[in-house]
Structure 1
């Protein structure tokens, strides 16, 4: 994919928007194509940063709060969970060079399994629901 096509539509994203877009694409979240979602989250993160600085937070503290706002509820993607399961439980059955294709093929078939879990909970991996999903 050439860079012009890949970067199309993101030239006017803010720092937070570009960061979120990259995060969503890297972790294969469904929201990666939702420009309104990205802009709204980025705006909220920028507002959080500005408010924190006005309240006296140091730059790194304000940045931490802004990033928390930006990524809240986006800790676990269906893709990442499925990739983890395949890597940990089926590494002998699915060779590393075929895993990506296997995961992409399997993901639509297991979508309903994910629908009963709250993947937006940032502590999902620590919950008993994660254990149920994983097994």
Structure 2
């Protein structure tokens, strides 16, 4: 069995790919990316040296790489815009608007506990409704309707 560890830059690339899709606000946080990828790499190497399988080593590394990145505000904003405003916002404008709304709606996000179970909670529905209202007001104020 060939036990070959991934290229050392693999973990940083994997994290950057994930951040670009779901946490674009963290994409330029080089300290965060470097720290997480180095911790993941170290965990992978340690598990590898202990004789664990490649898949187990990767599982351990990814658990560190993506720790506390379970709920994406950007993903929720993107979903709200796609679901509630698809007749008003062009497809090409959805991602830029969702990025804009990250800062515009920051006060709406305060007070919620974003844990791994948040999407299954009643708070998720309340937040979804609050975000829909906030985006609607922003769209009207900026003449996008």
TM-score class, shorter-chain normalisation, is 0.7 to 0.9
TM normalised by structure 1 equals 0.75
Aligned mate of 2:32, from 26, 37, 41: 37
Q: Deviations over 1:110-132 (max 9, x none)?
A: 1111122233x233212332222
Q: TM-score, normalised by structure 2?
A: 0.70
Question: Deviation of residue 57 (structure 1)?
Answer: 2.2
Measure how far apart 1:17 and its partner are: 1.4
- Determine the C-alpha separation between the residues in 1 that align with 2:30 and 2:93: 31
Q: CA deviation at 1:67?
A: 0.9
Bigger Rg, which one: 2
Unaligned stretches of 5+ in structure 1? 1-12
Other-structure match for 1:18: 13
Secondary structure, aligned partner of 1:73: coil
Q: Which residue of 1 aligns with 2:120?
A: 126
Q: Which runs of 5+ in 2 are unaligned?
A: 1-7, 130-145
Q: Give the aligned length.
A: 122
Q: Distance in 1 between matches of 2:24 and 2:88?
A: 26
Residue 69 of structure 1: how far off its partner (Å): 1.1
Matches within 5 A, 1:85-96: 85-96=80-91
Aligned to 2:99: 104
